[in-house]
Structure 1
């Protein structure tokens, strides 16, 4: 079971389309890469190559 991480200011913003986009701050606080190809992944994951840089 994954741990719940409460959202704080700066953890996300809304895209022009209205989607929640998580920031690098949130990903670092979470502490691991989910390998979903997140826009602001600080772990260097590339969904197209399925590798971390």
Structure 2
């Protein structure tokens, strides 16, 4: 079961289209890459090669 991470200030922002976009701050707290091609992925996931830097 995945752990629940509470949302804090600076963890996300709203895009002009109305979507919640998680920041690198939140993604680092999550401690793993979901391999979904997140905009601010701190793990360096590459959608084309399906590889991450870490």
TM-score band, normalised by shorter chain: over 0.9
User: After the TM superposition, which parts of structure 1 deviate over 3 Å for at least 4 consecutive aligned residues?
Assistant: none
**TM-score normalised by length of structure 1:** 0.94
Q: Where in structure 1 are there 5+ consecutive unaligned residues?
A: none
**Matching of residues 17-28 of structure 1 within 5 Å:** 17-28=17-28
Q: Count residues with an aligned counterpart.
A: 53
Question: What CA RMSD, in Å, does the superposition of the two structures yield over aligned residues?
Answer: 0.7
CA distance in 1 between partners of 2:51 and 2:24 (Å): 18
Are positions 1:10 and 2:10 aligned together?
yes
TM-score, normalised relative to structure 2? 0.92
Which segments of 5 or more consecutive residues in structure 2 lack a partner in the other structure?
none
